[in-house]
């Protein structure tokens, strides 16, 4: 049964320190909001995704969602409760979903297991949320820190998001609230309306980033996943022309390269490497040579497309390495520009974009200068 995801990203995050609102700060190489959006996009159970944000942050939202089409954005309210109410009304205005998962953008560690656990619970109750049992001893203290009392931790849980609900009763609960109402979370709204709720297993990596020190700790937790390495290879014949394009750089040469697009063997190999890292086929699957629209196309389009697919799968590109194999043209004078262009397209630090060259000592088709070849590897960090 189709569910919608409602991601709350309208807060200012003042306790997280000065600077950008925390949901737009870089987190393990990507804006924090993007991690949550990518996780819900990767779930086959999620249909619509709505992000509720402050209209003043429009440029930040656009940058965070770049390359992730189909995400709806609406203006948030003065409080979290008000923002969720607006998001619920936006979902109701279209084809209302059977279920809605409401998530805080400051929790970037969403996993497929948590999404599945919440949705499975909704087959039996109208409200469900991931949670972790309280493990630490609890004390009640005065303003000066003096311990006043012990608090039993039996049956106490730390509730996380995404919190899931049957959509119609939760919409009715929000519509019944006073305009000034402010609840700690959506589970509280549901319970106040008399909805039955259930807790399901949460995850440590779903912790909320609230204070400055939380950021680095959560990066370590969320960053632990599968490291996937893809490999690519491409080769093109020389033909008539006065230049070649390699890794996005035009190089004067007494021959051109024959290919359906711009024949950029370096970026073609790297595109295949990225696709291989996420099991998404090869460049020909996405850009068939038989399709005339790709004739003479800039290979940067192919590389950006592969990078967007990585992001949609919840992955993060951490390194790219291209080796160009040819006798001529000389790569050395252009290598720095190639690295810069590759880093720019993939959004990588320059130190993580490598381009190098070698020859085959005059052996084979590259040695006879019949053409050139390229091989590449891409390293992608996947969640989970």
- The pLDDT tens digits of the residues spanning 98-151 come to 999 999 999 998 988 999 999 999 999 999 999 999 989 999 999 999 999 999
Residues 198 and 67 in one domain: yes
What is the DSSP secondary-structure string of 127-159?
EEEEEEE--S-EEEE-TT--EEEEE--TT-EEE
What is the DSSP secondary-structure string of 181-205?
---SSHHHHHHHTT--EEEEE--GG
Q: What's residue 16's pLDDT? A: 43
C-alpha distances (whole Å) from 101 to each of 31, 155, 197 are 21, 24, 14
Among 223, 254, 287, give the residue marking a domain's end: 223
Q: List beta partners, residue 234.
A: 374
pLDDT at 315 over 90: no
Q: Over range 262-290, report the average pLDDT.
A: 95
pLDDT at 278 over 50: yes
SS3 91: helix
Residues 270 and 127 in one domain: no
Tens digits of per-residue pLDDT, 13-68?
554 445 688 888 888 777 889 989 988 988 889 999 999 999 999 899 998 888 78
User: 270 lies in which domain range?
Assistant: 226-382
Q: What's residue 289's pLDDT? A: 86
Q: Over range 186-206, report the average pLDDT.
A: 94
Residues 273 and 163 in one domain: no
* CATH number of the domain residue 73 falls in: 3.90.550.10
Distance CA 100, CA 217 (A): 29
Residues 211 and 291 in one domain: no
Distance CA 345, CA 270 (A): 12
Residues 23 and 79 in one domain: yes
By mean pLDDT, which of 50-54, 60-64, 327-331, 379-383 is the weakest?
379-383
Closest CA to 105 of 58, 158, 42, 35: 35
Q: Over range 161-188, report the average pLDDT.
A: 94
Q: Over range 301-312, report the average pLDDT.
A: 91
Report whether 88 contacts 160 (CB < 8 A). Answer: no
Report whether 80 contacts 6 (CB < 8 A). Answer: no
pLDDT at 167 over 60: yes
Residues 160 and 273 in one domain: no
- With a threshold of 0.75, does the pTM exceed it? no
pLDDT at 363 over 60: yes
Residue 162, preceding bond cis, omega within 30 degrees? yes
How many domains in the chain? 2
Q: What's residue 69's pLDDT? A: 84
Residues 292 and 349 in one domain: yes
Residues 153 and 273 in one domain: no
By mean pLDDT, which of 91-100, 183-192, 312-321 is the weakest?
312-321
Distance CA 168, CA 98 (A): 8
* CATH number of the domain residue 265 falls in: 3.30.1330.50
Residues 204 and 78 in one domain: yes
Distance of CA 133 to the CA centre of its chain: 28
Residues 160 and 236 in one domain: no
Confidence of residue 199 (pLDDT cuts 50, 70, 90): very high
Element (H, E) at 338: helix 335-346
By CB atoms closer than 10 A (0-12, 13-18, 19+), residue 10 is: buried
Q: What's residue 13's pLDDT? A: 53
- What values do phi and psi take at 296, rounded to 5? 70, 10
Residues 69 and 203 in one domain: yes
Locate 108 and state its tokens.
């970037």
Residues 113 and 8 in one domain: yes
């Amino acid at each position: 049964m189709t569910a919608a995801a409602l991601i709350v990203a309208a807060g200012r995050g003042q306790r997280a320190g000065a600077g950008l609102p925390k949901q737009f700060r870089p987190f393990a190489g990507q804006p924090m909001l993007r991690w949550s959006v990518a996780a819900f996009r990767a779930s086959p159970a999620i249909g619509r995704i709505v992000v509720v944000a402050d209209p003043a942050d429009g440029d930040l939202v656009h940058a965070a969602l770049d390359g992730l089409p189909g995400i709806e954005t609406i203006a948030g309210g003065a409080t979290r409760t008000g923002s969720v109410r607006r998001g619920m009304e936006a979902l109701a205005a279209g084809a209302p979903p059977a279920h809605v998962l409401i998530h805080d953008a400051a929790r970037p560690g969403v996993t497929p297991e948590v999404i599945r656990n919440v949705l499975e619970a909704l087959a039996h109750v109208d409200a469900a949320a991931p949670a972790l049992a309280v493990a630490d001893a609890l004390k009640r203290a005065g303003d000066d820190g003096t311990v006043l009392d012990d608090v039993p931790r039996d049956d106490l849980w730390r509730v996380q998001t995404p919190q899931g609900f049957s959509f119609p009763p939760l919409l009715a609960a929000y519509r019944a609230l006073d305009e000034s109402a402010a609840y700690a979370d959506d589970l509280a709204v549901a319970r106040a309306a008399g909805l039955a709720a259930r807790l399901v297993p949460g995850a440590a990596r779903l912790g909320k980033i609230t204070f400055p020190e939380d950021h680095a700790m959560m990066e370590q937790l969320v960053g632990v996943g599968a490291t996937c390495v893809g490999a690519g290879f491409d080769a093109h014949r020389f033909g008539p022309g006065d230049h070649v394009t390699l890794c996005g750089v035009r190089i004067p040469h007494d021959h051109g390269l024959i290919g359906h697009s711009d024949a950029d063997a370096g970026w073609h190999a790297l595109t295949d490497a990225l696709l291989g890292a996420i099991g998404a086929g090869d460049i020909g699957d996405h850009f068939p040579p038989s399709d005339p629209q790709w004739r003479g196309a800039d290979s940067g389009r192919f590389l950006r497309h592969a990078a967007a697919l990585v992001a949609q799968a919840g992955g993060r590109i951490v390194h790219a390495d291209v080796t160009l194999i040819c006798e001529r043209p000389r790569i050395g004078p252009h290598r720095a520009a190639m690295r810069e262009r590759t880093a720019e397209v993939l959004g990588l630090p320059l130190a993580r974009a490598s381009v190098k060259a070698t020859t085959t000592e005059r052996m084979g088709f590259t040695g006879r200068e019949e053409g050139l070849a390229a091989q590449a590897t891409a390293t992608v960090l996947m969640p989970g």
